[in-house]
Structure formats: structure tokens, C-alpha cells
């Protein structure tokens, strides 16, 4: 395959080697010069040696300026790097005497021209050291500039132009139906601005995309540029801020100048909160680099200049910290919230990411979407990628439900700790703890559906329940929250009833329950204190503002908040105890089944509750088999140490043999 080679690239590549050759020759010359021995003779010594026949060679170089002759050569007994040197006065008597003696001794005389007689050589000899020094300096400066060009143009914009080959359209954006409708006007304006100008309509100059990480804000902005078929400049908010004051403002000016030359176009600023935070809230001075950059951005967006045909889109996860001047009409006057996808959106997103993946018949995207509430688009893409990696690792021809289940657990809790061995007592504690959560989830009407229960340790948890809402709701009722708290307390209640003691396993459950209870009392007005918001939803502290916020209640009210929280927790704990005691047989059944199977799916739990036993084992479906049966099957297949493996390890080994 022939490739065009840039001549400048070839020259630039040969320069270092040429420099090395010149330096090497120079070093060799200096080395030889230092190792050469020159014996300086007087006129009488030279004549004496010449008369005795000791002179072997004679080289005479006239020096017209000095009116002398330089004579060099070798005497008998000299080594290879040894010579003599003598200066003779330029007179006929001296030359005649030397010539007569050399004729008697039969020594040949070699005559050289005077170098100083050539003007070109004289100029070169005088300027060569200076030229050599300048050449070395130029070489190193050019190398440094080529390696770090940005050091010379740090005031230029770092905005990059999107590649036309990787164009994204609305077909590549799934699960954002309403958000795409909001930005379609931008596409129409970029394609045909005269249609809007004819009726005096002003298209929004800026669109701010807000939402949690991974929901597709950047992808939506790229799709707008792809649909409009206009230049798309993208830059991160952190690329504006530098150490030197004024650099960020210079980059903003340069970015808008480039955009004006290519209008109509779209500029996308990702993570704009890095440069657009509120001014005057820091602990230091107000004239820092970030604020100067923000001031320049505000001026360019809607200041004294006109930016016709330029639309700015920005994305942030923290709209609460942005400067109010950014959000006024004329700047980011349209704000689009990109939320987490619902079940239909998740199914569409999964379909997009599953296009290039081979799924087994038992994998249905609809069921997978139902099992992944709260997942963002990035989480769903990561889920399918993890499943594909597991399928490749197990040498399978397609992604099965087993890989999807394992990938879901990995995304939520991390990889299984298959090498971490627990005692039988710990396994029973974890089994009854998780069974307690499952029983309350099954018996409470408004509780979430139990999708999966496992006692295989993952992350910092010895086991976990995967519980998803029966239907996705916009708002939660007080009953929903109370039953959610009751479900979180089910594990501790089961431990207390069965083992007559408690463990540290409920730490995370208590943390979640406490947050819900406090929000009910201080934010949602769901207590006897009445409809008061005593606290607001806490986020990341914004330096200079959140540290100085005042409390909205007195010490007396704080004591009443603690009392109300205690009342709610105590009531939920009593309810959880009653449910566990009334369904002790179901608790034992689920716990003992967990000890045998280690993992139970929703279908297995439903069958277990209805029939009191697990469905008949299907040797084709390894997930449905008990741990005892799997170990027996592994022993028959010749798998060593199967008695020390858990269910996940045995299934992996059997899958390898099957393939």
C-alpha cells in the first residue's frame, strides 16, 4: 500500500542524524588533534637536523601577511602522530640555504599555497565558528518548538473540529425523545436561518444540557451538528483555564473568531461548570483567571458583538453552581434536562448497543430493560460490553443470559469474590439476612419486586438482593417510603429472630434507611412536624457558599426531628418483626434454598413461594441446578476440587467443557 510521504517530514527526520554525523566528525578531529604531538624547533635546530640527514619530509607554507614560512614535517625516529614545526623568515638567503641542503640530502620539498590568499577561505575561516554555534542553537530551538508548539500559541483556542467521518445523527441517539424535540429547532435554524428571520423569530443562542453523568448530553450535541451538517467545534471547560491570567479570555476570543469564519456552526462546551462557576464565591481574590475567562465568555455570547449563525451548546452535571449571568435570556436561554431513561428508553438504548453483538435466544432486551432501573445510557453500554467480554472469556459463540446476569452484578456490586472462602456460620448468617429482605419484599404490597437473591460475596457485601419497582413512578408516597424502610430493616430483624444476635452486615441498610427517614422529616413534610422543609437536598459543597449556609431550625426543632425519625424507624422495625415472625417458614425455606443454590432468580423465587420447592432440575440449565447437583455433575465431568468451588466457579468450568 503506497502512502504519500511529506518531504518536510523526511527532512525533519534526517536532521538529527545529520547533526550526529557532524558532531561525530568534529569529535574525531579534536581527538586526533589532541593526540597529535608537535615539536617546535628553532631555526638552528632545524638546519642542524637537516644537515645531519635527520629530516625525512618538508612541507613549506608561505604566510604572506606575516612574511614568514611555516615548515612542518617528520624527523627520523618520530612516531605516526608526531611532527616538527618551525617558522623561517621570508628571505632569499634562508630559502637558498634550505634548498641547497635538501638537494645534498636528497629530501623532497612540498610547497602549499597560502590559505590567507583566498578571500573566500578567509571569510569562511573567520565565520565558521559563529555559524556552527548558530546552527547548533537553531537545531535545539526548532526541536523544542516542534515538540511543544502549544508553548508558543497558548493564547489560541483549543476547540477541535469534529471529524466528518464519525458523524452522529439522531438515529444513534436512543431514549431521548423529548430532548431531541427540544433541539430540533436548532437544526432547522442552522439549515435555513432565513425562515426564522422572516418572521422576526430569534433562535436561542445557547442551549444548556443538564443531567446526571452518562445520560447522553455530549452524544445529543454531536447529533445536532450531524443532522444540521454544519461545523461542530467541541472543547472542555477546563481547556480555557491556565496558570497565566488572560490566557483563557484570549482562547475564548479566538474560538469565537474561528466560529464566525465558519458560521453557521455549533460550539459545544463540555463540563462548563469548570469555567462558569458563580463569581465572587471563592475564598481568594475576585480577579483570578477563571473569572476573567467567564467574563469574556459572557461578552462573546451576548455582549456588544454580534455572533450571527453561532449556536452554543454546553453540558454540566452541576447547574446549581453556574453563574446566573450564564442562564439569562440571550445566553443559555434554553435549558434541557437530560434525565435517566425510563424502561422504554432503556430498551431503545440497549437495542442501539446490541447491534454489533451476538445475543443468544434467551436474552430479551425488554426483560433486561425491566431489570435495570436507574441505569444511564453509559451504564447500559458498559453492561453489554461486560457481558460480551465474559462470553469471549468463556469461549462462547453468543452472549447468554448467564453472562448478562453476571455483568449486571459486576456493574452494580463488582466482581464476585470466588476465591474468598467463608465459614458455614457466616454463610448461614448471610443467607438468613438476605432471606429477611426477600420475605418483606414479597409480602408488602407496595414493595419492589425481588429479581434476584444471592449469597455470593461481591465488593464489600457478603450477598445482596436485587429489587426493582413493579412500575416506575414519578413520585413516591409515604406508604412507599415506609415499606422501603421496612424492607431495608428485614435483614437485621431476621438475624435477631433466628440467631438471637445481630451482626455488622446491616450497616449499609441502616445508612440508606436513615437517609430516607431524615428526608421524610426535614424535606418531604411526612411527619408530625408538618409540611416544613427544614433542610434541602445535599450536594457537593460549593466553596464559599455551602460552607456558610445557615440552619433553618433551632435546637428545639432539631430535637423534635430526632424524635420523629426515631418514631418512624421504630414503627418500621416493629412491622418488619411482625412480617418475619408471621412468615418464619417462608424465611427458613428461602434461606435453606439459598444455602444450597447460592443464587435465586425471580422465576425460581416465585415457584418456590407457590410450590414450597424448587422446580425440577434441568441439566441443560446450570443456573437452575442446586450446588450439590452441580458438584456431582462436575465430579462426573472430571473437574478437580469441585467440592471447594461455589456455584459460579462450577458453572464456568462446565461451560468451558461444553464449548
Reported as type and span, the H/E element at residue 155 is: none
Per the rule left: phi > 0, alpha: psi between -120 and 50, beta: everything else, 207 is beta
CA angle at 27 for the pair 23 and 28, rounded to the nearest 5°: 120
What angle do the packed helices 401-413 and 377-393 form, to 10 degrees? 120
Per the rule left: phi > 0, alpha: psi between -120 and 50, beta: everything else, 392 is alpha
The DSSP line for 534-549 is -S----S--TTTGGGP
User: CA 114, CA 76: separation in Å to the nearest integer?
Assistant: 27
Q: Which residue among 434, 483, 496, 623 is the active-site one?
A: 434
State yes or no: is 300 an active-site residue. no
Rg (CA), the chain: 42
- In Å, how far from its chain's centre is CA 605? 40
Which residue matches cell numbers 422501603? Answer: 484
Q: Which of 358, 361, 355 is nearest to 397 (CA)?
A: 358
Q: How far is CA 413 from CA 8, 32, 427, 461, 597, in A?
A: 54, 72, 18, 8, 20
Q: Which of 241, 290, 338, 333 is nearest to 544 (CA)?
A: 290
Residue 317 preceded by cis peptide, ω within 30: no
User: CA 211, CA 206: separation in Å to the nearest integer?
Assistant: 16
- The residues annotated as belonging to the active site are 434
Amino acid at each position: 500500500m503506497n502512502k504519500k510521504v511529506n518531504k518536510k517530514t523526511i527532512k525533519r527526520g534526517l536532521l538529527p542524524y545529520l547533526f550526529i554525523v557532524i558532531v561525530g566528525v568534529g569529535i574525531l578531529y579534536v581527538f586526533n588533534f589532541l593526540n597529535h604531538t608537535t615539536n617546535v624547533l628553532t631555526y638552528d635546530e632545524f638546519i642542524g637536523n637537516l644537515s645531519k640527514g635527520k629530516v625525512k619530509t618538508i612541507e613549506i607554507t608561505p604566510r604572506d601577511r606575516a612574511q614568514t614560512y611555516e615548515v612542518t614535517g617528520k624527523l627520523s625516529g618520530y612516531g605516526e602522530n608526531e611532527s616538527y614545526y618551525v617558522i623561517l623568515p621570508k628571505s632569499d638567503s634562508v630559502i637558498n640555504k634550505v634548498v641547497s641542503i635538501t638537494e645534498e640530502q636528497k629530501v623532497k620539498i612540498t610547497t602549499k599555497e597560502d590559505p590567507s590568499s583566498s578571500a573566500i577561505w578567509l571569510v569562511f575561516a573567520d565565520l565558521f565558528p559563529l555559524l556552527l554555534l548558530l546552527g547548533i542553537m537553531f537545531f535545539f530551538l526548532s526541536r523544542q518548538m516542534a515538540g511543544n508548539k502549544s508553548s508558543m500559541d497558548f493564547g489560541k483556542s483549543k476547540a477541535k473540529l469534529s471529524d466528518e467521518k464519525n458523524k452522529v445523527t439522531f438515529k444513534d441517539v436512543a431514549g431521548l425523545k423529548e430532548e431531541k424535540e427540544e433541539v430540533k429547532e436548532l437544526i432547522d435554524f442552522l439549515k435555513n436561518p432565513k425562515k426564522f428571520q422572516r418572521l422576526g423569530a430569534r433562535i436561542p443562542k445557547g442551549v444548556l444540557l443538564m443531567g446526571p453523568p452518562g445520560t447522553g448530553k455530549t452524544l445529543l450535541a454531536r447529533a445536532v451538528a450531524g443532522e444540521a451538517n454544519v461545523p461542530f467545534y467541541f472543547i472542555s471547560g477546563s481547556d480555557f483555564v491556565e496558570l497565566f491570567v488572560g490566557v483563557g479570555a484570549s482562547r475564548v476570543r479566538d474560538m469565537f473568531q474561528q466560529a464566525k469564519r465558519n458560521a453557521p456552526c455549533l460550539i459545544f462546551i463540555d463540563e462548563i461548570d469548570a469555567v462558569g462557576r458563580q463569581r465572587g464565591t471563592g475564598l481568594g481574590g475576585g480577579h483570578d483567571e477563571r473569572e476573567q475567562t467567564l467574563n469574556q465568555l459572557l461578552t462573546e455570547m451576548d455582549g456588544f458583538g454580534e455572533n450571527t449563525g453561532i449556536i452554543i451548546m454546553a453540558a454540566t452535571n452541576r447547574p446549581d453552581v453556574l453563574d446566573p449571568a450564564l442562564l439569562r435570556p440571550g445566553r443559555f436561554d434554553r435549558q434541557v434536562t437530560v434525565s435517566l431513561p425510563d424502561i422504554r428508553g432503556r430498551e431503545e438504548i440497549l437495542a442501539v448497543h446490541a447491534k454489533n453483538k451476538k445475543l443468544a435466544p434467551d436474552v430479551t432486551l425488554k426483560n433486561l430493560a425491566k431489570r435495570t432501573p436507574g441505569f444511564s445510557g453509559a451504564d447500559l453500554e458498559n453492561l453489554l460490553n461486560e457481558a460480551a467480554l465474559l462470553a469471549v472469556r468463556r469461549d462462547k459463540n453468543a452472549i447468554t443470559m448467564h453472562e448478562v446476569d453476571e455483568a449486571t452484578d459486576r456493574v452494580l456490586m463488582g466482581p464476585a469474590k470466588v476465591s474468598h472462602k467463608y465459614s458455614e456460620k457466616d454463610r448461614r448468617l448471610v443467607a438468613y439476612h438476605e432471606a429477611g429482605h426477600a420475605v418483606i419484599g414479597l409480602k408488602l404490597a407496595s414493595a419492589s419486586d425481588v429479581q434476584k437473591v444471592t449469597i455470593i460475596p461481591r465488593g464489600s457485601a457478603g450477598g445482596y438482593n436485587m429489587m426493582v419497582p413493579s412500575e416506575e413512578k414519578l413520585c413516591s408516597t409515604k406508604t412507599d417510603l415506609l415499606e422501603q424502610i421496612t424492607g431495608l430493616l428485614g435483614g437485621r430483624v431476621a438475624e435477631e429472630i433466628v440467631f438471637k444476635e445481630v451482626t455488622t452486615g446491616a450497616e449499609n441498610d441502616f445508612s440508606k434507611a436513615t437517609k430516607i427517614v431524615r428526608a421524610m422529616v426535614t424535606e418531604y413534610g411526612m411527619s408530625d412536624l408538618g409540611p416544613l422543609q427544614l433542610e434541602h437536598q445535599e450536594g457537593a459543597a460549593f466553596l464559599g457558599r455551602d460552607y456558610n449556609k445557615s440552619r433553618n431550625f433551632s435546637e428545639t426543632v432539631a430535637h423534635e426531628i430526632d424524635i420523629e425519625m426515631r418514631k418512624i424507624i421504630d414503627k418500621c422495625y416493629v412491622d418488619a418483626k411482625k412480617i418475619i415472625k408471621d412468615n418464619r417458614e417462608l424465611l427458613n425455606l428461602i434461606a435453606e434454598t439459598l444455602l444450597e443454590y447460592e443464587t435465586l432468580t425471580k422465576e425460581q423465587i416465585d415457584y418456590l413461594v407457590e410450590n414450597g420447592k424448587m422446580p425440577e432440575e434441568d441439566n441443560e440449565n446450570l443456573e437452575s441446578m442446586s450446588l450439590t447437583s452441580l458438584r456431582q455433575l462436575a465430579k462426573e465431568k472430571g473437574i478437580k476440587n469441585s467440592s471447594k468451588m461455589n456455584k459460579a466457579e462450577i458453572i464456568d468450568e462446565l461451560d468451558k467443557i461444553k464449548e
